[in-house]
């Protein structure tokens, strides 16, 4: 898979962010407890490797991505079983649809044509692999919390700034992550390289005395640049 990587990719806000509170660490429908975490990893990965944003007569199709199970496993470090389970869950959540045969599978990334957010892309790759994803073990709920937090941070970033801001209370309300686990989740994001820095110096970005921390995603430098997502 030799597609040129972009500094950032556009990700639809809905229905992804609205689904975050419902994604739990639990075995269900015969799938492993780690399936929802694998699904989020694969969703981002498919957008990263997609051919470009769609402009045809299918308004609900935002991207078309072509990738084999083996390619997705190499990119993410997920086992073949988790790739299969994660893709199935994405279909169940109506985030993607499948087209073609198992040998020539095309994944359609779906959306309602509404708001979108920027997610750093190029900075996460190393020799054809998404290194932060490969460092997640998916052995416990903290991995799922971290992925949900990562996507939430990206979705609430003000386009004027390279950082995201959110209090623990708001994070819990919008993602379902227990407040007691938020700090552990962003520590994990830092350790695997999805979060570049946390700034606790208050500089009056918002008019309140208890300003939330500022969170910088890895690759945040590209987020305020016009270069990135291919048309």
- Give pLDDT tens digits for 165-223: 999 999 999 999 999 999 999 999 999 999 999 987 665 555 555 678 899 999 999 99
Residue range 124-143, pLDDT digits in tens = 999 989 999 999 999 999 99
What local confidence, expressed as pLDDT, does residue 18 receive?
A: 95
**Residue 24, Ramachandran bin (φ over 0: left; ψ between -120 and 50: alpha; else beta):** beta
Classify residue 122: in a domain, yes or no: yes
Segment 107-118 mean pLDDT: 88
Q: Which residue has the higher pLDDT, 40 or 58?
A: 40
- Reduced to 3 states (helix: H, G, I; strand: E, B; else coil), residue 34 is coil
Residue range 138-164, pLDDT digits in tens = 999 999 999 999 999 999 999 999 999
Give me the chain's average pLDDT, please. Answer: 89
> For 220, what's the count of Cα atoms within 13 Å in the CB-facing half-sphere?
23
Classify residue 89: in a domain, yes or no: yes
Classify residue 77: in a domain, yes or no: yes
Distance (Å, whole) CA 196 – CA 112? 31
Classify residue 200: in a domain, yes or no: yes
Q: What is the pTM of this model?
A: 0.91
Classify residue 3: in a domain, yes or no: no
Residue 34 CB: number of other CB atoms within 10 A?
25
Classify residue 47: in a domain, yes or no: yes
Classify residue 1: in a domain, yes or no: no
Phi first, then psi: give them for residue 57, nearest 5 degrees.
-90, 20
Classify residue 229: in a domain, yes or no: no
pLDDT for 231 beyond 50: no
Q: How far apart are the first and last CA of the chain?
A: 20
Range of the domain at 68: 8-224
Distance (Å, whole) CA 186 – CA 151? 12
Residue range 13-27, pLDDT digits in tens = 999 999 999 999 999
Distance (Å, whole) CA 5 – CA 50? 10
Give the number of residues written for the chain: 231
How many domains in the chain? 1
């Amino acid at each position: 898979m030799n597609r040129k990587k972009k500094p950032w990719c556009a990700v639809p806000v809905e229905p992804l962010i609205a689904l975050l509170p419902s994604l739990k660490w639990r075995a269900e429908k015969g799938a492993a407890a780690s399936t929802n975490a694998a699904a989020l990893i694969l969703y981002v990965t498919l957008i990263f490797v997609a051919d470009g944003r769609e402009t045809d007569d299918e308004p609900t199709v935002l991207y078309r991505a072509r990738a084999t199970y083996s390619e997705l496993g190499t990119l993410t470090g997920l086992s073949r079983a988790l790739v299969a389970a994660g893709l199935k869950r994405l279909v169940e959540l109506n985030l993607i649809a499948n087209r073609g045969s198992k040998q020539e599978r095309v994944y359609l990334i779906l959306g309602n044509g509404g708001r979108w957010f920027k997610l750093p892309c190029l900075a996460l790759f190393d020799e054809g692999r998404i290194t932060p994803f490969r460092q997640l073990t998916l052995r416990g709920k903290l991995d799922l919390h971290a992925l949900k937090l990562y996507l939430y941070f990206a979705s609430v970033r003000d386009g004027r700034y390279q950082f995201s801001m959110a209090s623990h209370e708001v994070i819990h309300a919008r993602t379902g992550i227990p407040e007691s686990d938020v700090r552990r989740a962003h520590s994990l994001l830092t350790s695997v390289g999805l979060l570049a820095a946390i700034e606790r110096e208050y500089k009056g970005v918002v008019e309140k005395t208890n300003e939330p921390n500022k969170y910088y995603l890895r690759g945040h430098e590209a987020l305020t640049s016009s270069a990135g997502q291919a048309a």
